[in-house]
Amino acid sequence: MIYDSVERFITELPEYMPRVSQLTEFLSAAREKSFEELKEMDFAPLDLRFGEYETKPQEEIPFEAHKRYWDLQLVLEGEELLGYAPLAELTETVAYAEKDDIAFYRGEGQNVKLSREMAVLLAPWDGHRPGANVGDTPCKIKKIVVKLPW
């Protein structure tokens, strides 16, 4: 897992992951444009997943992981806690589904806060629990997940 500012992802990530250089244009736009404006833009060949939901108590959310993709997650509106734990420290509860590229887990981890200026890059060996409340009150989230082939 790499957790840092969107600005540092723009300046540093292409150096360490040269195949993701097309992310620079998207990340620059994500700093300045609204969720709705980004939905209308074409960032091909990037695989962008736009999501809108309300956060929940973390106890209601399982950890998940993917085998075929890294996830680059950015919250454009609202804020959430994203739980993280190495897969080796979690217990699988729902077996991997090849079609959806996902498996679910339970266990303990640590949280990072995602809001407009921060991003997280999650590897296939990183269990993550997105969408948890910051505090006691649910928050409306508008988020983009970039699926990067592994």
Contacts of 80 (CB under 8 A, 6+ apart): 55, 113, 114, 130, 131, 132, 133, 134, 139, 141, 143
- Listed in order, strand segments (DSSP E) in 37-138 are 47-54, 63-65, 69-77, 80-86, 91-97, 102-106, 110-114, 118-122, 126-132
35-73 pLDDT per residue, tens: 999 999 999 899 999 999 999 999 999 999 999 999 999
64-101 pLDDT per residue, tens: 999 999 999 999 999 999 999 999 999 999 999 999 99
pLDDT above 70 (res 14): yes
Q: What is the DSSP letter of 117?
A: T
Measured between alpha carbons, how far is 115 from 141 in angstroms, rounded to an integer? 9
Q: Minimal CA–CA distance to 133: which of 110, 147, 113?
A: 113
Average pLDDT of every residue of the chain = 93
**Which residue's entry shows tokens 């649910």?**
138
For the chain, list the domains and their CATH numbers.
Answer: 2-149 (2.60.120.370)
116-150 pLDDT per residue, tens: 989 999 999 999 999 999 999 999 999 999 999 87
Q: Minimal CA–CA distance to 142: which of 56, 77, 57?
A: 77
